[in-house]
C-alpha cells in the first residue's frame, strides 16, 4: 500500500536535504516550517494570508479541537482543512504535549491521559486509541501518535519509564489506525539522556510509521543539550521518511536542525513573540515596545518584502502596540511569519545549490542576535 504522504528528496548538502512532502492536500516544499494553529486558526492570520506568504502546511491540536468544537462536527463539515478554509495540508498534534503543559489538569496512567477540561473542568480520557479516532475524524493529512512529552528536569529512571510508555502507546496507536489515507507519525522521546534517546529511537523506528518525530525538546533544557539530543535522535531516523523536530523554532535552531537532516518544524515563537511586540529581522530581534522606535520612520527590516515592512514604520507599529490595537498583532505576526518563510526558502535554495554551510555562516550574526532593548 502506498504511503499517504511521501517525501521526495531533490537535493542534499551534507545531512541537510530539500525536496517535497507530497500530501493529499498538495506538495509542501521542504524543509518546511508549520505555523501553529492550535484551535484551527493561526492567531491574527487568515488562512489566505498564510497561503500568500508561502505556507502549505499548518499545525492544529487534537486535544483542543476535541474539547471545542468537537471532532464529529468538524468531520461532518468536511474535515479540518475545509472547516478552516485552508487550501493546504494539516498536521495535528495528538495532545501529548498538553499532558505536560496542563499538568495540573491531568493524570497520566497506562490507559492514557485523564484530563480535566481547561474550559469547564469536564473529565476527558485521551488514550492512544481515542487520540487516533479524534484525528481520523478531523481528517488531517498527518496524525501524531499519542506520547508522553517528558518534562525537564527529569530523573533518568522517570525518563525511561516515560519513553517505554510512549513506545507502548505507539504500538497501540498503530493497531487502532483505520484510516490509511492519513499519515501517522511516531515520536522519539528520552529527555536529555543519550542512551535513552537512542533506545527510544530504535524502538519507535522499528514500527511501521509513515514518518518520525523527535519530541520532548525545547522544554527548558540548555540550548547546547537540546541541539545535542536533536542531532542524536536525527541520526537514528530513516532517510526515506519525513523527519520532524517538534516545538523547536528560533531561526538559529531551525538552521542547525536543517543541517542535521530534519524536514519539518513547528513552533509558537514567531506568532507568540509578535503578540508580545518582538519582531525577527535580518539584523536580529527587536522589541517594538522600546522608546527608541517612537519616532523611527524606518520599517522593521529594510531587507524584508512583507506587507508590514512595505506599509508601516516602526513608529506607527510602536504606537499600535502601546495603544492595544489589534492591527499591531496582525502586522507583527505577518512580518514574523514572512521572515520564517523567507528563511526556509533561502535554506531550500542553498541546499539545492550546495551552499548551505555558507548560508548558515552568512546568517549567523543576524538570526542569533538578541538586541538589548529593555526599557
Q: Which CATH number do you get for residue 140?
A: 3.20.20.105
Reduce the DSSP state of residue 17 to 3 states and report it: strand
Give the active site residue among 133, 147, 266, 301: 266
Residues of the domain holding 10: 6-267
Residues 40 and 103 placed together within one structural domain of the fold? yes
- Of 93, 133, 147, 210, which is the active-site residue? 93
Is the residue at 150 inside a domain? yes
Residues 306, 245 within the same domain: no
Is residue 25 in some structural domain? yes
pLDDT higher at 375 or 66: 66
Whether residue 207 sits in one domain with residue 108: yes
pTM of the prediction? 0.96
Question: Do 17 and 111 lie in a common domain?
Answer: yes
Mean pLDDT of 126-143: 98
**Residues 303, 230 within the same domain:** no
- 302 and 253 fall within a common domain: no
The answer to whether residues 147 and 284 belong to one domain is no
Q: Which residues contact 105 (CB under 8 A, 6 or more apart)?
A: 115, 116, 117, 118
> Does pLDDT of 216 surpass 70?
yes
Give percent of the chain with pLDDT exceeding 90.
90
Residue 374 in this model has a pLDDT that exceeds 60: no
Query: Can you tell me which residue has the cell 536542525?
Result: 257
220: left (phi over 0), alpha (psi -120 to 50) or beta: left
Residue 367 has a pLDDT of: 64
Segment 104-115 shows an average pLDDT of: 90
192-210 mean pLDDT: 98
Q: Are residues 195 and 250 in the same domain?
A: yes
For residues 24 and 78, membership in a common domain is answered with: yes
Rounded Cα distance between 225 and 282, Å, is 26
Mean pLDDT of 219-243: 97
Q: Is the pLDDT of residue 371 over 50?
A: no
Position 375 in a domain: no
**Same domain for 153 and 288:** no
Q: What is the pLDDT of residue 274?
A: 98
**Average pLDDT value for the chain:** 95
Residue 1 within any structural domain of the chain: no
C-alpha span between 191 and 201 (Å, rounded): 12
Strand, helix or coil at 324?
coil
Helices 326-353, 314-322: crossing angle, 10 deg rounding: 130
pLDDT of residue 365: 67
- Split at pLDDT 50, 70, 90, the class of 96 is confident
Residue at 141 is within a domain: yes
Does the annotation count 266 as an active-site position? yes
Query: Span 39-60, mean pLDDT?
Result: 98
CA distance readout (Å), 319 to 268, 315, 322, 327, 331: 24, 6, 5, 11, 12
297 located within any domain: yes
Say what the pLDDT of residue 349 is. Answer: 98
Pair 17, 134 in one domain = yes
What is the length of the chain?
A: 375
Identify whether 296 is a catalytic site residue: no
Q: Taking the CB of residue 213, how many other CB atoms lie within 10 A of it?
A: 29
Q: Say yes or no to pLDDT of 325 above 90.
A: yes
Instruction: Please indicate, yes or no, whether residues 42 and 110 belong to a single structural domain of this protein.
Output: yes
Domain end position, chosen among 267, 296, 329? 267
Mean pLDDT of 307-323: 98
Q: Is residue 373 part of a domain?
A: no
Count of domains forming the chain: 2
Q: Looking at residues 269-296, what average pLDDT do you find?
A: 97
Per-residue model confidence (pLDDT) at position 369 = 58
Kindly tell me if the per-residue pLDDT of 110 is higher than 70. yes
Tell me if 272 is assigned to some domain: no
DSSP 330-351: HHHHHHHHHHHHHHHHHHHHHH
Q: Of 209, 244, 267, which residue is a domain's last?
A: 267
pLDDT for the residue numbered 372: 45
pLDDT at 41 over 90: yes
Task: Give one DSSP letter per residue of 87-140, joined into a string.
Answer: -SEEEEE-SHHHHHHTGGGEEE-SS-EEEE-TTT--EEEE-HHHHHHHHHHHT-
Question: Among residues 244, 267, 290, which one ends one of the domains?
Answer: 267
Amino acid at each position: 500500500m502506498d504511503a499517504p504522504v511521501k517525501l521526495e528528496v531533490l537535493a542534499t548538502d551534507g545531512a541537510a536535504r530539500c525536496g517535497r512532502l507530497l500530501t493529499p492536500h498538495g506538495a509542501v516544499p521542504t524543509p518546511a516550517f508549520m505555523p501553529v494553529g492550535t484551535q484551527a486558526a493561526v492567531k491574527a492570520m487568515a488562512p489566505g494570508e498564510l497561503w500568500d506568504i508561502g505556507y502549505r502546511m499548518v499545525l492544529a491540536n487534537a486535544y483542543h479541537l476535541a474539547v471545542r468544537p468537537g471532532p464529529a462536527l468538524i468531520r461532518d463539515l468536511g474535515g479540518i482543512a475545509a472547516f478552516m478554509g485552508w487550501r493546504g495540508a494539516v498536521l495535528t498534534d495528538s495532545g501529548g504535549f498538553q499532558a505536560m503543559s496542563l499538568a495540573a489538569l491531568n493524570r497520566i496512567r497506562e490507559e492514557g491521559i485523564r484530563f480535566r477540561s481547561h474550559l469547564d473542568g469536564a473529565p476527558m480520557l485521551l488514550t492512544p486509541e481515542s487520540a487516533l479516532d479524534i484525528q481520523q475524524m478531523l481528517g488531517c493529512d498527518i496524525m501524531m501518535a499519542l506520547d508522553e512529552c517528558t518534562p525537564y528536569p527529569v530523573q533518568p529512571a522517570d525518563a525511561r519509564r516515560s519513553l517505554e510508555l510512549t513506545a507502548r502507546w505507539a504500538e497501540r496507536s498503530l493497531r487502532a489506525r483505520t484510516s490509511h489515507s492519513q499519515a501517522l507519525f511516531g515520536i522519539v522521546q528520552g529527555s536529555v539522556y543519550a542512551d535513552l534517546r537512542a533506545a527510544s529511537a530504535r524502538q519507535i523506528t522499528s514500527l511501521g510509521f509513515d514518518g518520525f518525530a523527535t519530541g520532548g525538546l525545547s522544554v527548558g533544557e540548555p540550548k547546547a543539550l537540546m541541539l545535542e539530543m536533536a542531532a542524536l535522535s536525527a541520526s537514528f531516523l530513516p532517510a526515506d521518511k519525513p523527519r520532524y523536530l517538534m516545538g523547536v523554532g528560533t531561526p538559529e535552531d531551525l538552521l542547525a536542525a536543517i543541517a542535521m537532516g530534519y524536514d519539518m518544524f513547528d513552533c509558537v515563537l514567531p506568532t507568540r513573540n509578535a503578540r508580545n511586540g518582538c519582531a525577527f529581522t535580518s539584523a536580529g530581534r527587536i522589541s517594538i515596545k522600546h522608546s527608541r522606535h517612537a519616532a523611527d520612520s524606518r520599517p522593521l527590516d529594510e531587507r524584508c518584502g512583507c506587507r508590514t515592512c512595505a506599509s508601516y514604520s516602526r513608529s506607527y507599529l510602536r504606537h499600535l502596540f502601546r495603544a492595544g490595537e489589534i492591527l499591531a498583532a496582525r502586522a507583527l505576526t505577518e512580518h514574523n511569519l514572512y521572515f520564517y518563510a523567507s528563511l526556509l526558502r533561502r535554506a531550500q535554495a542553498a541546499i539545492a545549490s550546495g551552499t548551505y554551510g555558507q548560508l548558515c555562516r552568512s546568517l549567523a550574526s543576524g538570526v542569533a542576535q538578541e538586541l538589548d532593548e529593555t526599557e
